[in-house]
Amino acid sequence: MLPSEQAAVYLIPNTLGECTIEYSLPPDVASIVSSLRYFLVEDEKAGRKLIKALVPAADLRQLSIHRIPESPTAANLDELMAPLASGHSIGIISDAGCPGIADPGAEIVTRVHQRGFRVVPLVGPCSMVLALMASGLNGQAWRFVGYLPIEATERATAIRNLDERARTTGETQIIMDTPYRNEKLLHDLLERCHPTTKLCVALGLTTAGEYIRTQSINEWRKEALKLAKLPCLFLLGGR
């Protein structure tokens, strides 16, 4: 049952990888999804997969599922939000994790606020939060950096700057890359960071391949770690 009869935008988290729905999402998420007819998704295939996993009896042909444009215009946003004006709630689904957190959705949410409709975030996994929880690093001050530059010189400079920030301020720096570049990023971090800097590798969170470990750069350099091609976060910390 929806919390109220007023039309709203529901931010629906997706799983972070291959795991059971019950492990990542509470039952109320399925209940809300089953009540919706309109969805905005980062990717249609991933969105349909989640809807079907949450509501096996759902007839996807009866649902309106639209992909969120990469750079939506004001006209795009108003068109996507049209069901709200008719009293219909909308669900936003990203490929993995939470909409609007390193994933599409923020522009739509901003527009929803401007139009005076409700925004309802639903409980689900966020890889940055899970990694930070398990890292032992500073959870009071942290920054999600995302992807580093590809060009070698810019990348090296970025890593040195993040390393210095982590060591001088104590602020945890959270970095990611595409799974096939996991080992290259790990190599670059071990090469550029100070030996006493703490590094947490958080691989395949919530999946059967989950691996989480924190130790100093100097300790990591003594290992020959092989990282699977799974989503991975790298956290730098000064403590």
d(CA 127, CA 37): 28
Return the C-alpha torsion angle 174, 69, 65, 30, nearest 10: 20
Q: Would you say residue 166 has pLDDT above 90?
A: yes
Q: Would you say residue 33 has pLDDT above 80?
A: yes
Q: Would you say residue 225 has pLDDT above 50?
A: yes
Q: pTM for the whole thing?
A: 0.90
The pLDDT value given to residue 102 = 86
Cα distances from 208 to residues 17, 24, 205, 228, in angstroms, run 9, 13, 8, 12
* Confidence bin at 5 (pLDDT 50/70/90): low
Indicate the average pLDDT of the chain: 93
* Confidence bin at 161 (pLDDT 50/70/90): very high
For residue 169 the two structure tokens come to 């301020």
Check if the beta carbon of residue 169 is closer than 8 Å to that of residue 141. Answer: yes
* Confidence bin at 15 (pLDDT 50/70/90): very high
* Confidence bin at 189 (pLDDT 50/70/90): very high
Q: Would you say residue 2 has pLDDT above 80?
A: no
End-to-end CA distance of the chain: 45
* Confidence bin at 37 (pLDDT 50/70/90): very high
Q: Would you say residue 104 has pLDDT above 90?
A: no
Q: Would you say residue 4 has pLDDT above 50?
A: no
The model's pLDDT over 48-63, given as tens digits with 9 standing for 90+, comes to 999 999 999 999 999 9
d(CA 227, CA 229): 6
Strands 198-203 and 211-216: antiparallel
Average pLDDT score over residue span 142-159: 95
The pLDDT value given to residue 78 = 87
Task: Please report the domains of the chain, with CATH numbers, ordered by start residue.
Answer: 8-121 (3.40.1010.10), 127-237 (3.30.950.10)
The pLDDT value given to residue 3 = 41
CB proximity list for 113: less than 8 A, separation 6 or greater: 119
The pLDDT value given to residue 118 = 94
Cα angle vertex 161, ends 155, 164, to 5°? 140
